Structures are given as C-alpha cells and as structure tokens.
Structure 1
Amino acid sequence: MDRSGEGKREEELGFERLAPFVCECEPLSQEDLEAIDATLQSSLPKPSTTNNNNNKRPFASHSPPRRSSRRRLPTSLIALQLPPSLSFSPSPGHLKTRLPVMKFCGKIMYSRTFTDVEKAVTKFLKIIEEKKRDMIQIPIGFDIEWRPTFKRGVPPGKTAVMQICCDTNHCLVLHLIHSGIPRNLQLLLEDSSVLKVGAGIGGDASKVSRDYFISIKGVEDLSYHANQKLGGGPNKWGLASLTEKLLSKQLKKPSKIRMGNWETPYLSKEQLEYAATDAFASWFLYQTIKDLPDAQEVADKSIEVDGAPQQ
C-alpha cells in the first residue's frame, strides 16, 4: 500500500501546528550568523590550554554526527543557553572551601567578683547533680587563660580566667584574677567524680595548683584519649587540630585575643566567646572521642577477619 501521500499530509499538518510558534522575521544570512558568532565568542572565557587527557567535551556523543541541511546555530549561542550550574570552566576567583567555625551558642555566665563566682558555681553544681542521676562520672570541658609575658626572665601572669562547660547550653567564665577561688569552686575542682577534660589539661591543672594552692582531681587529657582511639603513634594533639580532625570544624585562635590581657577589669565580648568556645570544644570532643572504638580493638578485628578460613 502506497503511504507516500499520507506521509506528506502528516508533514504538512505538523508545520501547520508549529506555525503559531514560528518567529515572523527575516531569516539571518550566513554573514549575519558569522558576525554574531564572532561577537559572542570574544565575550566568552578562554578555554584552558593545559594539556589534560580528561578535558573532553561535555555531553559528547560517541555516535557519528548526523548530516542536516538546516543551518546550525553558532556554538557560542548554544553555550549561552546552558544554565550557569552546567559551566565546566572554573571561576577565576574561586577560593578553597573553608571549614565551618566552631562556636559556643549557649548561655555564657560571666562572673568577676567573689560573690558572683560563688553564686554561679552553685547554679552549675545543681546542673551537675541532675546529670549524676544518669551518669556516674560527669565530664566538663576545662580551660584557663592568663596574661602572657614578652620579657625574658619575667614569669607569666597568674591564672586569670577559668572556663568550664558541661553541655551545649551552659558555660561558666570565671574571672579568677579578681575573685579568687570560693570554697564551692575548690570542692568542684577536687571532686574526682567530675571529670575535667581538655587538651594539655595536665599543664593547666598544675598551673592552677601553683597559683591557688589547690589540687585538681579527675583530669583527662584529650590528646592522650585521642591517641588511644585513633592510633598511628603518640601525637601531641592541640585543641584546634583535634577539632579539625574529628569534627571537621576550625577553632579560631586569633593572637590578639589568645595573647591579650586577660587581667583586664572586664572581659570583652570577643574574650568571653573565645573562652567559652574553648571549654565547649573540649567537652564536645570528649563526647565524640569516647564513642570511638579503640585502635587496638579495630586492629584485632581486622586480623580476625583476614585470618578467617575461606569458604
């Protein structure tokens, strides 16, 4: 049966349906298209000249191109039709993605007089007692600050600030250089059931003991704790390096704050946030590290699996 007539009729009907969408304008000549193409090509970013075997055309087809009698649009016009998200050229000002910043977002309880420190510690102890209902040993993030010295032979200042944190909501910043250590704070520091955690905390505990003649008990160094879990040799981890390694966040340590005057009559907002974040990071890191399996246990299980008889 001859269907050539039907095919021709279907083609004519197809053009009739497309008629409302056809742009009624004069067709562009070849010279017009070449001129447009040259203008647009000059405004597009130059392709990289780096010799890379992986530099292939996006959406390249492995089938041979079809021949067509229709006039093709300039390649520059086709490129401009692609959405920005499909651009395969790196932005000239592209910067390396930075890690999110670690920051304490809870309530900072700042105290600078003997009475205020005593009251703040009393409230903190009530929170600790509530947590003891569920845990035998309560971890708190612990850190201290003091005024540095830049003269040879001059010892560093006395412990000026102590910060302690027990969760995501509460952090004490105690300005000890003005208040001293009340009796209830001393009892907290000497309570071994309250675990004080921090990076290099042994040195901090010794300094507090020398400065205020008290003994801090229940101390655990995050660096030692991390080495037990991570393996790979004894590494001396700092608080910032552990935060980056385990939490994928950056702990900012600006020198103007870290090496600033912690004996000032009143701490600035920046100093308070810095101090609270350090104590919070210590507490949070302990929660993260304690849930990790020991490196030796992982190695032993790996040996058991490798040594299992093959089926």
Structure 2
Amino acid sequence: MGTESSISDSDWDRPFTDEELQAIDAICRSATPSSSSSPIKKRHEPGCTDDYASTLSPPKTRRRLPDSLFNFRKEMHTSFSFSPCSRNRFHSRNNTVYRSSYQEMKFGGQIVYSRTVEEVEKAADELLHFIEAKKSKEGGCILGLDIEWRPTFIKGVAPGKAAVMQICGDNNCCHVLHIIHSGIPQKLRSLLEDPTSLKVGVGIANDASKVFQDHNISIMALEDLSNLANWKLGGIPKKWSLATLTEMLICRQLPKPNKIRLGNWEVEVLSKEQLKYAATDAYVSWYLYQVLKSFPEPVDNKSEKTCLE
C-alpha cells in the first residue's frame, strides 16, 4: 500500500504539452526499427460500425500520445513482453468523455502466505536462495516490494504498524508475509538489508521509512517506479500511482477496492482477496520495472549539444 503518490482526474485528463510529446517521440523513434513499424488501427466501441464511429465528436480535452509510442516494438531479452496502450484511450458519446475499459492485471503464479516466525524464516530462506540464483545467472536481482497496514479514520489516532510485506521476483511466485504476527526475523532482516538486491515500487522510500519506524529495520537498495517513469518518459514530471502507471504502460487496470485496500490487515488470517491484492501489487511493481528498463536511456540534449560544439 505505502503512500503512493496519486494524480487527480484533472491532471490525468490534461493534454500532453508539445515538449512532452516531442520527448516521448524522440525516445520511441530511437528504439523502433523503421522497417518493422505498422499502422495501428483505431479501436471502436463493441458493436459500433465505422460509419457510426466517424460521427462521434472527439472530446475537447483528451490526452494524446505520439504515434511512435504505439509502434514501439523493442526486442527484449527477458521472459515477458508487453503491448503499448492504444491511442484511443478515451471515447466520446453525447459529449461525455470517459476512460476505456481495460482488462484487469492479475498475478497468475503461486502465492506463498507465511504468518508465524518459522514460516516467515522459511520464506525468507527461499527468497535468499532465489536471489543468489538470480545473481549467478543474470548478474543481479530485482524484487517488487510493498507493504500494507491497518489505516485509521479517527483524528489523533495513529495508523497501525506495517502488518503485511509482499515480495515478488518473477512471474511464478509471490511471498506474502504477515509480519504483524511474526515480526521480522533474522533471515528476513538480512534480505531487506542486502544492498545487492534492488527493491522496487511506487513510493517505496515511504514504505521503507514506515518499516524502519515500526520494526527498526533499514531496507537497502531502493528504486521508485514513479521517478524512473518520469526519467524514462521525459517531459513534465508526474506523480504516478501504481494503478495509473499500470494503465499508462501496459493498458491494464490495477483494481484498488477500498474494502480491501483500507481493510484490516492485522486480522488473524488474511482472506483470499487480501492475499491476491497484496501479491498483485508486488508482482506489478516487479513487472513495471522490467517494462521501464526496456525503454532506451533518455538523451540529454544539452550535454549532446555541448559535445557537438
């Protein structure tokens, strides 16, 4: 959960500036083979004919991405691929603008739930072996990490301690650790304090701060996905949430039902819905990092100009 940054509807619907469009265009052109690009067909509402769709008036305010972003097809050396979002992210009917409906993002792997000290130690041991195997094979290890806690709605009453920690490092398995009951035993502490495995998420520095405040553990090697997205995409920096970043990058909805998100994470045993919610957040954090790292490095125009001179 953390303290994800969020953007307002007005900011989300704001059109890109010319500077932003040019920056994203430059990024995507540098990574797109000119011979392999193909035009993207417009998508209409189900049941709409082309004639009917052509009569729809475009919204006065719509957020438009450059064409080159949707032709982006970069070969990747990882075990996954993604499809950039369609240009037609908004439709208009009767002068009403609303967001297209995207398929929900779901984690399809195994969720390992641990709540006792022994179970959490075993899970941490498995993760440590996983990290070492990743380092040996790929030279490094990336972990999607997130935490949940019981919120408070009473003024002057502090929120609960960090109650759940979820960690995911691939498509196959996510660990959900109920640390409000187990605490943070030694092996989990070693994992979190390891500076050689990168932990990623939106607002992850705030999560790390809360873990330190509540459990006196310093989580090392952090990277915020919102900052990484702003650096990769260029333009005016935005305060991305995990949900808006998921929609922007891979055309998927990340469900955030308040009943679960703001629920009681200190219960004796987490529900199936809570486990799915927690695991999906950690998985999406890991996944979006892979997507963002596949984008080319941004070009520093000022430095380039100086070198040419």
Q: Which TM-score band applies after superposition, normalised by the shorter structure?
A: 0.5 to 0.7
1:279 to 272, 278, 282: 282
Quick check: 1:128 aligned with 2:131? Answer: yes
Give the superposition deviation at 1:170. 1.1
Give the superposition deviation at 1:298. 8.3
Task: Give runs of aligned pairs for residues 203-218 of structure 1, distance below 5 A.
Answer: 203-218=206-221
Runs of 4+ in 1 over 2 A off after TM superposition: 51-54, 134-137, 294-302
Give the aligned length. Answer: 217
Judged with a 3 Å threshold, the aligned counterparts in structure 2 of structure 1 residues 163 and 52 are, in CA distance, closer, same or farther, namely closer
- 1:140 is aligned to 143
Quick check: 1:220 aligned with 2:223? Answer: yes
Please give the alpha-carbon distance, in whole angstroms, between the structure 1 residues aligned to 2:137 and 2:231. Answer: 26
- 2:171 is aligned to 168
**What letter corresponds to residue 224 of structure 1 in structure 2?**
N
1:215-240 CA-to-partner distances (Å, cap 9, x unmatched) read 11001100111111001122111100
Task: Give runs of aligned pairs for residues 1-311 of structure 1, distance below 5 A.
Answer: 97-296=100-299
Identify which of structures 1 and 2 has the higher relative contact order when contacts are C-alpha pairs closer than 8 Å and 6+ apart: 2
TM-score normalised by the chain length of structure 2: 0.65
Mapped contact 1:230–1:294 kept (Cα < 8 A): no
Give the superposition deviation at 1:135. 2.8
Give the superposition deviation at 1:301. 8.6
List alignment gaps of at least 5 residues for structure 2: 1-50, 58-92
Judged with a 3 Å threshold, the aligned counterparts in structure 2 of structure 1 residues 288 and 96 are, in CA distance, closer, same or farther, namely closer
Give the superposition deviation at 1:96. 7.5
219-228 vs 286-295, greater mean Cα deviation = 286-295
Judged with a 3 Å threshold, the aligned counterparts in structure 2 of structure 1 residues 107 and 301 are, in CA distance, closer, same or farther, namely farther
Please give the alpha-carbon distance, in whole angstroms, between the structure 1 residues aligned to 2:56 and 2:99. Answer: 24
TM-score normalised by the chain length of structure 1: 0.65
Q: Which structure's CA Rg is the greater one? A: 1
Mapped contact 1:171–1:279 kept (Cα < 8 A): yes
Mapped contact 2:134–2:140 kept (Cα < 8 A): no
**What letter corresponds to residue 254 of structure 1 in structure 2?**
P
Cα RMSD (Å): 2.8
Mapped contact 1:229–1:289 kept (Cα < 8 A): yes
Please give the alpha-carbon distance, in whole angstroms, between the structure 2 residues aligned to 1:194 and 1:288. Answer: 18
**What letter corresponds to residue 286 of structure 1 in structure 2?**
Y
Please give the alpha-carbon distance, in whole angstroms, between the structure 2 residues aligned to 1:152 and 1:226. Answer: 35
Please give the alpha-carbon distance, in whole angstroms, between the structure 1 residues aligned to 2:103 and 2:56. Answer: 35
List alignment gaps of at least 5 residues for structure 1: 1-47, 55-89, 305-311
